[in-house]
Structure 1
Amino acid sequence: MEFDFAQLKPQERYKLLTALVVPRPIAWVTTLNRDGSVNAAPFSFFNAMGSDPGLLVLSVGNHERTRPKDTAANIKRRGFFVVHMVSEALAPAMNLTATEFPEGMSEVEAAGLELAPSVHVPVPRIAQAPAGFECKLHSVLEIGHNRLIIGEVLQAFVHDEFVADAHKLHIKTEALQLIGRMHGRGGYTRTREIFEMPRISLEEWQARQMEKTP
């Protein structure tokens, strides 16, 4: 079956993209509202996109056709945000912060989250999150009705219990029990089942080809 994106509506493209591009990591983002209160919201159109400098990119849409979501407006106004990784234990709280609460109602309070000060940015962290990144806004790229927010990472943080060797930067990734976004309105996946597949060198591949030669 072939699907011509030029012939599809935006929501139809969304259904295909989210059904096929899986699993997607979740950016649980905190920003500062205009009144200084903390906004928290999750986004699954997100990933790391570079290490020199460290870059995270997330796509944040609009409430309606033209009014940006609070996260996008806050990042543009303040220039800073914090991205948290979501553990399985925090999944219900993360999901609750996606609720369209009325203006003035705090997602942080509703989800029972605790905040902690960041090191390099004025935006607080979610204290319970096992790991995350403090970011400053690098640029915003708008393509059609897509808004790509590019953040430069200033600081990474990981709870001590998940650090195997700080000097070597070895993280107990599996112990984080992070979750990812799948398809549908409520599809998620765990990251517990990991398999190893070492990269094959050119020499190893050539040796295998020689073995196949009669």
Structure 2
Amino acid sequence: MKYDPQEDNCPLPHSPFRSCVVPRPIAWISSVDEQGNDNLAPFSQCGILTFDPPMVMFAANHYPTGQRKDSAVNAEKTGWFVWNMATEALKEAVNISAMIVPSDQSEFELAGLEKIKADLSDVPMVKDSPCHLECRYVSTTVIKGSSELGTVDLIIGEVIRVHINDEYIKSDGCVDIEKVRPIGRMGYLDYTVIDNTFSMEVPMSDEIRAIMSEIMAGSAKKNETTGVE
């Protein structure tokens, strides 16, 4: 089976496109507007851009009316947002926070979530999330779609502070992802849980490995001096 999404009607009853790029992380974005109203929403069109400096992005589709998502607007106007890690234990709250509600209604309250204040801004964070990335807003790129709903605000932020619950850090200093059990978005209405990981090292010469080690060590040292925890 093959088809051209720009020209043909999909021969399947449901579009398979979003099932071909999986699993996708969920950017559980918290923000606050200029009036002090809290906002929390999940986005599965997201990811990291680079590690030096650490930067993330999420894409927020417009509503059919052309109205923009609160998360995008709040990040632009206040200059900050927080990426909270979405986990299996919090999946019901993640789903509830995806509801479309008025801007002055807090998804934290709607989902029964306890919040804590970020260190560097007034943005609230999900207390029970094992990881938070405090992000300083960098830019917005509007990507025009074939419809208002297909149009997205691509929001980029630089990670200025990282919070990780010590309970989820292993003795070797690595994050215990299998204990965290983050959820990922599949296609359709489906999600998955990361509960099985394996390691592979890319083959490289000793010379290249030494260069890469030096680069990574320099990045870690830079984080120590810029307040990234």
Q: Common fold, TM-score beyond 0.5? A: yes
CA contact (8 A) 1:163 1:170 kept: yes
Unaligned runs of 5+ in 2: 145-150, 207-229
State the match for 1:22 in structure 2: 22
Contact 2:37 2:103 in 1 (8 A): no
Give distance in 1, aligned partners of 2:194 and 2:8: 32
Distance in 1 (alpha carbons) for counterparts of 2:8 and 2:97: 30
Q: Which amino acid aligns with 2:29?
A: V
Counterpart residue identity of residue 45, structure 2 = F
* 1:72 alignment counterpart: 72
- Distance in 1, Cα, partners of 2:3 & 2:195: 33
Matched, 1:163 2:169: yes
Measured in 2, the distance between the counterparts of 1:159 and 1:20 equals: 33
1:60 alignment partner, SS class: strand
Alignment partner, residue 126 of structure 1: 126
- Within a 5 Å distance, the mapping from 1:101-140 to structure 2 comes to 101-140=101-140
Q: Secondary structure at the match of 1:71?
A: helix
Q: TM-score, normalised by structure 1?
A: 0.84
Q: Number of matched residues?
A: 197
Match of 1:6?
6
**1:1-214 alignment, distance < 5 Å:** 1-7=1-7, 15-144=15-144, 145-165=151-171, 169-184=173-188, 186-201=189-204
Contact 1:121-1:135 within 8 A present in 2 as well: no
Higher alpha-carbon Rg:
1
**Alignment partners' CA distance in 2, 1:15 and 1:56:** 27
Structure 1 spans left out of the alignment, 5+ residues: 204-214
* Percent sequence identity over aligned pairs: 32
Q: Which runs of 4+ in 1 moved over 4 A?
A: none
In structure 2, distance between residues paired with 1:69 and 1:104: 13
Q: Contact conserved, 1:162 with 1:175, CA < 8 A, in 2?
A: yes
